[in-house]
């Protein structure tokens, strides 16, 4: 891991064993981009990588060189209006209405480790040897705005973290109207763009398309990162696969409105921008004030999509997630929501809990409906006081009874929302986001509290903290069931209304920070109608998230496969639920529901008392299996083997750090007849070790399993032999391989 500055050529070079990032100070004082990719040798004159070929009809704004134009130069902090007609990374409106800026190099410094970002989630280091940070200071002399560009390169993996801090050292206020966190200009467009998109109950499907001239983007203007598009994209060479080829992944550590964009110009150069969505955004920067952009993370590899994902997994799992639960195996839980919805009493809950304890469950979670006058989703949100008609001894009482059974107790909150039919709304109707004299749009009969206001965050914090101080609560499910509309704060003046979306998310982060600091033993799980805010920003506070409200095992194959492109298995909330499934009305075998849920945090979303004795026995066996292997499943090296987006079968696997144990999940959606013989090439094994297959006790070396493959042929390839159990639709198997 090295960062050097060559004084004569004015070139910065950041590198480790995997990657190089090269940039330079241009002749006009701005910062140009030279290279990002596989590690290259350092030399003094890397500046000759800069392409300065003059092109017809270009505008030239540099007086000393009438052939020097910014129109096609790769840049670190491009602005609009002085020759570069591509999308800018920064736009600052000044008092006279101008948006022109000229950020020129001033100085640099190199620091060990990585600085924290004030009020924002970000990856971190625990010692100075893990990473180094380059800080480059640029200045727009007309406005006095300083831009502090942060580049952190990690010692291991092709990882570069980037963000920008703006400070007004001038004498007049300005409006920041675009503040992207990352700009990467690539020299060609021979890439495929990969995004994770969908909708409620089908989040993070993998969508891939070829980059062509023009703009390709994903983003959110919903106030949350959204079910529709995730703040992660990758660009990969068309020949790249899961196992090989060049890939650059981009993750944005932010939970609000975002934009991730690739723009291909007329000469096939590609500009990638990542940051807060500029639509509806503006930030008034008074003299002496500063603004910090959220952090973006780039990962480069020439070893394919799996290697990119594994790099993100390691980083996010151990240097983004924090706290007591960062690397602890997750407790096996049961959640009462799909078992009871709002129809429960304390005794009904205890009946479910007793059966769960008998099966080996470790954590009982009480979901929505325990507070205020919450008999449906029409009332009660905001009144975080136990409903004594349902819970005579309150949360303290039910928590104690669950603890007496030998399980931990968890609780559901939706702290950012309020119902009109609630004591909180009647007391503070002005605390919601709404525009004077305009209609207030509800979602699920609820409104969004104005978390841009400190007094609102303080009030909700005190209500939640009171419950957590008084009761033995070990787990919090933090839900958020609607996006923002009418984004207007009664507490801010007109010129600051463009700050509300961002201030709202900062308020959410502040509440999380205060609660996790006071209650470090509590495991937080983020949720937003399932996967509506499943992003890296949330992982900083809650090391796991509810992956989707869709608990159907078949749909979860696509959802969890896509999610794994960026997010670690330990972060994916995954449960076994009742059939017919409550979202798609599908009936899948109990073993397949578990086989899909194993590759996540694992739990149950049903009333175990309604299962047959045979099913209860299966549940007990599933829990025994998960307890034995959850450390490998959640923290091992994860490989995607077969995509649910490309055929009838899905496969993935997790390998222990010492490569002596591997767990393979194989899934077939629809049954076949007289099918072909099938093999599955495994990944990540030690080629010199001999592994025993748990399904048939055969012994095979790692190189055989990776090159010839595991036979997954079953009776669907021929007639059913006597005594064999027939396969069905939605079939699956778990293979365990142990080195002998």
Q: What is the mean pLDDT of residues 435-450?
A: 96
pLDDT for 61 equals 82
Whether the Cβ atoms of residue 180 and residue 249 lie closer than 8 Å to each other: no
Q: Strand pairing of 475-478 and 523-526? A: parallel
Q: How far apart are CA 534 and CA 660, in angstroms?
A: 32
pLDDT at 53 over 80: no
What beta strand segments (E) does 560-602 contain? 572-573, 575-577
Sheet with 19-25, strands from edge to edge, namely 2-6, 11-15, 19-25, 31-38
| Spatial contact of 339 and 352, defined as CB atoms under 8 Å apart | yes
- Write out the two tokens for 729: 């639709």
Q: How far is CA 443 from CA 434, 436, 448, 623, 694, in A?
A: 13, 19, 9, 37, 49
CB within 8 A of 661, min separation 6: which ones?
A: 629, 632, 655, 736, 737, 738, 739
106 with 167: CB under 8 angstroms?
A: no
pLDDT in tens, 520-532: 999 999 999 999 9
333 HSE (CA, 13 A, CB side): 28
User: For 639-673, b where at least 16 C-beta lie within 10 A, e where not — what string?
Assistant: bbbbbbeeeebbbbbbbbeebbbbbbbbbbbeebe
Contacts of 188 (CB under 8 A, 6+ apart): 268, 269, 270
pLDDT score recorded for residue 38:
98
Q: Where are the alpha helices (DSSP H) in 362-499?
A: 394-404, 423-427, 454-470
**Residue in 454, 445, 400, 402 with CA at minimum distance from that of residue 425:** 445
Could you give the CA distance from residue 275 to residue 273 in angstroms, rounded to a whole number?
Answer: 7
Quickly count: other Cβ atoms within 10 Å of residue 43's Cβ.
12
Structure tokens at 5: 């500055």
Q: Is the pLDDT of residue 582 over 90?
A: yes
pLDDT, residue 496, reads: 98
For residue 291, the Cα-to-chain-centroid distance in whole angstroms is: 23
On whether the CB atoms of residues 397 and 348 are closer than 8 A, the answer is no
Distance CA(651)–CA(640), nearest Å, equals 7
| Residue 722: pLDDT band with limits 50, 70, 90 | low
pLDDT band at 65 (very low <50, low <70, confident <90, very high): confident
Catalytic residue among 367, 549, 552, 607: 549
pLDDT bin (cut points 50, 70, 90) of residue 340 is: very high
| Residue 27 to residue 167: CA distance in whole angstroms | 24
Predicted confidence (pLDDT) per residue in 612-652, tens digit: 999 999 999 999 999 999 999 999 999 999 999 999 999 99
| C-alpha to C-alpha distance for 606 and 579, rounded to whole angstroms | 9
Across the range 5-30, mean pLDDT stands at: 97
Q: How far apart are CA 386 and CA 373, in angstroms?
A: 9
pLDDT at 1 over 90: no
Is 84 a catalytic site residue?
A: no
Residue 185 bears catalytic tag: no
Where are the domains positioned within the chain? 649-739
Examine the pLDDT at 474 and tell me if it is beyond 80. Answer: yes
C-alpha span between 178 and 606 (Å, rounded):
47
Q: How far apart are CA 1 and CA 456, in angstroms?
A: 45
| Contact present, 327 and 657 (Cβ < 8 Å) | no
Q: Decide: residue 56, CB within 10 A, 0-12 exposed, 13-18 middle, 19+ buried.
A: exposed
- Nearest CA to 611 out of 590, 582, 592 is that of 590
Mean pLDDT of the chain: 96
**Positive or negative torsion for Cα 228, 231, 478, 482:** negative
Res 58: pLDDT: 86
Q: Can you give the pLDDT at residue 720?
A: 67
* Per-residue pLDDT tens over the stretch 694-718: 999 999 999 999 999 999 998 888 8
Specify whether the CB–CB gap between 256 and 223 falls below 8 A. yes
283 — pLDDT class (breaks 50, 70, 90):
very high
Q: Where are the alpha helices (DSSP H) in 373-452?
A: 394-404, 423-427
Q: Within 10 A of 213 (CB to CB), how many other CB atoms are there?
A: 12
The answer to whether the beta carbons of residues 25 and 10 sit under 8 Å apart is yes
Q: Which of 115-129, 286-300, 530-544, 713-727 has the lowest mean pLDDT?
A: 713-727
Burial of 726: CB neighbours in 10 Å, binned 0-12, 13-18, 19+? exposed
Looking at the predicted structure, is the pLDDT value of residue 721 above 70? no
Contact 606, 577 (CB under 8 A): yes
Q: Where are the beta strands (DSSP E) in 313-371?
A: 333-335, 363-366
| Ramachandran angles phi, psi of 108, nearest 5° | -150, 165
CB-based burial label for 600 (10 Å; 0-12, 13-18, 19+): buried
Query: Does pLDDT of 602 surpass 80?
Result: yes
pLDDT over 80 at 321, yes or no? yes
- By C-alpha distance, which of 3, 296, 292, 36 is closest to 148? 292
- Nearest alpha-carbon partner for 575 in 363, 389, 428: 363
Separation of alpha carbons 89 and 184, rounded Å: 10
> What pLDDT, on the 0 to 100 scale, is given for residue 727?
82
Report, as an integer, the average pLDDT of 139-164.
98
Please state which CATH number belongs to domain 649-739: 2.60.40.1180
Catalytic residue among 140, 367, 450, 479: 479
pTM: 0.97
* 18 Cβ neighbours under 8 A, 6+ residues apart: 38, 39, 156, 157, 158, 300, 301
Cis link prior to 189 (omega < 30° from 0)? no
| pLDDT of 442 over the 70 cut | yes
Strands 572-573 and 544-546: what pairing? parallel
């Amino acid at each position: 891991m090295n960062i050097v500055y060559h004084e004569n050529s004015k070139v910065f070079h950041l590198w480790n064993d995997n990657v190089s990032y090269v940039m330079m100070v241009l002749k006009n004082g701005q910062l140009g981009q030279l290279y990002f990719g596989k590690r290259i040798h350092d030399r003094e004159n890397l500046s000759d990588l800069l392409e300065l070929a003059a092109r017809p009809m270009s505008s030239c704004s540099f007086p000393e060189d009438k052939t020097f134009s910014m129109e096609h130069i790769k840049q670190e902090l491009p602005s609009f209006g002085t020759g570069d007609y591509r999308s800018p990374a920064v736009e600052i409106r000044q008092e006279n209405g101008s948006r022109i800026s000229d950020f020129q190099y001033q100085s640099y410094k190199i620091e060990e480790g990585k600085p924290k970002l004030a009020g924002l989630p970000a990856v971190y280091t625990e010692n100075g040897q893990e990473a180094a940070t380059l800080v480059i200071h640029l200045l727009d002399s007309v406005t006095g705005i300083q831009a502090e560009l942060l580049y952190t390169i990690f010692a291991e993996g092709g990882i570069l973290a980037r963000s920008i801090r703006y400070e007004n050292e001038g004498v007049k206020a300005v409006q920041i109207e675009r503040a992207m966190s990352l700009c990467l200009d690539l020299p060609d467009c021979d890439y495929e763009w990969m995004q994770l998109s969908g909708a409620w109950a089908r989040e993070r499907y993998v969508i891939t398309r070829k980059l062509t001239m023009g703009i390709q983007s994903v983003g959110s203007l919903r106030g949350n990162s959204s079910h529709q598009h995730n703040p992660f994209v990758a660009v990969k060479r068309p020949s790249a696969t899961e196992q090989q080829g060049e890939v650059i992944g981009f993750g944005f550590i932010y939970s609000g409105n975002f934009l991730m964009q690739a723009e291909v110009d007329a000469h096939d150069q590609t500009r990638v921008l990542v940051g807060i969505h500029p639509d509806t955004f503006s930030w008034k920067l008074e003299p002496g004030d500063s603004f910090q952009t959220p952090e973006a993370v780039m990962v480069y590899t020439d070893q394919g999509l799996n290697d990119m994902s594994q790099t993100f997994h390691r980083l996010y799992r151990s240097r983004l997630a924090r706290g007591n639960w960062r690397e602890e195996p997750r407790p096996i839980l049961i959640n009462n929501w799909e078992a009871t919805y709002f129809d429960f009493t304390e005794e009904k809950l205890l009946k479910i809990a007793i059966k769960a304890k008998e099966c080996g469950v470790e954590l009982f979670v009480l979901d929505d409906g325990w507070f205020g006058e919450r008999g449906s989703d029409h009332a009660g949100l905001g009144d975080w006081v136990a409903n004594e008609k349902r819970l005579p001894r309150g949360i303290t009482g039910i928590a104690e009874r669950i603890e007496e059974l030998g399980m931990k107790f968890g609780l559901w909150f939706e702290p950012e929302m309020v119902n009109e039919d609630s004591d909180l709304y009647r007391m503070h109707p002005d605390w919601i986001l709404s525009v004077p004299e305009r209609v207030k749009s509800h979602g699920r009969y609820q409104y969004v509290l104005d978390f841009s206001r400190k007094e609102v965050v303080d009030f909700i914090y005190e209500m939640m903290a009171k419950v957590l101080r008084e009761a033995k609560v070990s787990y919090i499910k933090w839900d958020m069931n609607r996006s923002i509309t009418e984004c207007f704060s009664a507490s801010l003046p007109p010129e600051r209304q463009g700050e509300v979306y961002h201030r709202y998310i900062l308020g959410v982060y502040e509440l999380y920070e205060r609660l996790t600091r006071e209650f470090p033993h509590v495991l937080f799980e983020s949720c937003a109608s399932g996967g509506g805010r499943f992003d890296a920003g949330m992982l900083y506070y809650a090391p796991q998230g509810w992956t989707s409200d869709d608990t159907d095992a078949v749909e979860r194959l696509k959802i969890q496969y896509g999610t794994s492109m960026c997010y670690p298995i330990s972060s994916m909330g995954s449960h076994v639920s009742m059939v017919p499934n409550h979202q798609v009305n599908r009936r899948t075998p109990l073993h397949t529901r578990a086989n899909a849920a194993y590759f996540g945090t694992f739990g149950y979303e049903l009333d175990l008392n309604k299962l047959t004795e045979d099913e209860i026995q299966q549940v007990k066996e599933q829990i025994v299996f998960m307890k034995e292997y959850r450390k490998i499943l959640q923290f091992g090296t994860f490989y995607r083997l077969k995509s649910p987006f490309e055929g009838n079968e899905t496969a993935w696997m997790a390998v222990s750090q010492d490569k002596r144990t591997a767990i393979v999940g194989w899934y077939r959606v629809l049954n076949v007849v007289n099918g072909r013989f099938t093999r599955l090439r495994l990944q990540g094994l030690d080629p010199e070790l001999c592994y025993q297959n748990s399904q048939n006790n055969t012994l095979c070396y790692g190189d055989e399993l990776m090159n010839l493959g595991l036979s997954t042929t079953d009776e669907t390839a021929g007639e059913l032999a006597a005594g064999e159990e027939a396969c069905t639709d939605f079939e699956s198997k778990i293979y365990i391989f142990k080195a002998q």
